[in-house]
Amino acid sequence: MPSALTLLGFGVLAGLVLSSAAHAETHPDVLTIPADLENPPITSGEPAPGKMVLQTLPAYAGTEVAHALYLPTDWAPGKRFPVIIEYRGNSAAVRENKGIGCALSGGKGFIWAVLPFVSADGKRDEAWWWGNVDATVAYAKAAVPLICQQWGGDPARVVLTGYSRGAIACNYIGLHDDEIAKLWCAIIAASHYDDGHIPWGMTPEEQRRAPERLRRLSDTPQLICGEYCTRPQQGSDVKLREQIQARGITTFAAAKETLGLVPITEVESTRALIAKHHPQARCTFIDLPWVNHGSAVFLRDTPERRQVRDWLQMAVRGANNK
C-alpha cells in the first residue's frame, strides 16, 4: 500500500512522491509542529483583501443561514481568481474560525468560501450531519455563481474541499446531482469519504447511492487524503495521542508498528470503492503520516501540505488549459 501519492489510471506524479523512509522519522502527532498559519477571524461588513466576512443569500435573509467569504491578500477588482469552496466537519459551524481553505491557499491567489449545511427548519447552519440536503445543494448552486460574479471568481476553476464531515460532503453534497457536479474543476476530500458502507448520518437508501454519486465525478480530478488510524477505528484521535505520549513514542515508524496503524483510506475501503465503481476516476491518494483527525493539521508546514498545495495548483492550471 503506497504511503504517499498514487494517481489511479494516470501513473505516479513525478516530483510529488515522498518515500516511506522520509515519513518514518516524523512525529506521529503532527500538532507537535508549531502552526505557521492561523485562520482569519470571521467578521461582519464588506469583503476586503485578507478579510473573511459573513454573507447571506437573499432567500435566507432574517435567518442564521450564511456563508463565509474570504478575499485573498492579493485580490483586486477586475482580476480573476480560482475559488475554494469548503464544507466544515461535524460540530464546526460556518461562523467558527476553522477550516482548511486558507491553509491550502496560504491566504493568497484563491477566493475561499465556506458554505452552510442548511438545517431542516431552514433557519440555521446545521452543525451535525446534513440537515436539509436539498436546501444545502440548492444553496451551493446559488452561492457559487454569485461569488464568482460579484468577486471575480473564475467559474471554470472552482475547487470543492472539506475535512471529516466536509470530506464526505464532497461527494454526498457536491455530487448530489448532475447540475452541482458540474460546478467543480477539482475536489479535495480530507479524512473520510462517502464510501457507501459507513452510515455517516445517512439513511440506508442514501448510503446505497454512493456509487451513483461517485460516477458523477466523471473525469474531474479528486485528491483523497487522510491520517493513519487503528482497525477498528476509534471515535477520535484522543486515545491514540494519549498512547503515543504515555509510551514515549517519537517517530511515525514506531507508532505504526507499536499501535498497528493503517491508512484511514484502507480501513474505510475507499480505494476499493473507487476501483469497483469508477475505475477510470482521476483520483490521487495521500496517506498522511500522523494520527491526528482535525482541520488544524494543515496549519502546519509539512511535506504533505506542500503535496496538497502542489496538487491544487496543478488542478487549477489544468482547468485553465481546457
Mean pLDDT of the chain: 91
Other C-beta atoms within 10 Å of 187: how many? 24
pLDDT, one tens digit per residue, over 198-215 is 899 999 999 999 999 999
Is residue 42 within 8 A of residue 306, CB to CB? The reply is: no
Q: How far is CA 235 from CA 93, 218, 230, in A?
A: 20, 32, 10
**Could you state, in order of their start, the residue ranges of all structural domains in the chain?**
5-320
Confidence of residue 41 (pLDDT cuts 50, 70, 90): very high
**Angle CA(291)–CA(297)–CA(299) in degrees, nearest 5?**
165
Q: With respect to CATH, is domain 5-320 assigned 3.40.50.880?
A: no
For 166, the enclosing helix (H) or strand (E) is helix 165-172
Q: Given this model, what pLDDT does residue 4 score? A: 36
Is residue 70 within 8 A of residue 111, CB to CB? The reply is: yes
Confidence of residue 11 (pLDDT cuts 50, 70, 90): very low
Q: Given this model, what pLDDT does residue 196 score? A: 85
Please tell me the distance from the alpha carbon of residue 209 to that of residue 316, in angstroms, as a whole number. Answer: 29
Instruction: Give the CA diameter of the chain.
Output: 56
The per-residue DSSP string of 89-125 comes to PTT--TTSS--SHHHHHTTSSSEEEE---B-TTSSSB
Q: Given this model, what pLDDT does residue 83 score? A: 98
Is residue 265 within 8 A of residue 193, CB to CB? The reply is: yes
Taking the whole predicted model, whether its pTM rises above 0.85 is answered as: yes
Which of 283, 151, 178, 154 minimizes the C-alpha distance to 225? 283
35 in helix, strand or coil?
Answer: coil
Residue 124 C-alpha cell reads as 440555521
pLDDT, one tens digit per residue, over 287-315 is 999 999 999 999 999 999 999 999 999 99
pLDDT, one tens digit per residue, over 171-197 is 999 999 999 999 999 999 999 999 988
pLDDT, one tens digit per residue, over 71-124 is 999 999 999 999 999 999 999 989 998 899 999 999 999 999 999 999 999 999
Beta strands in the chain (DSSP E): 5-7, 42-43, 52-55, 67-70, 81-87, 111-114, 153-163, 186-190, 222-226, 228-229, 262-263, 283-287
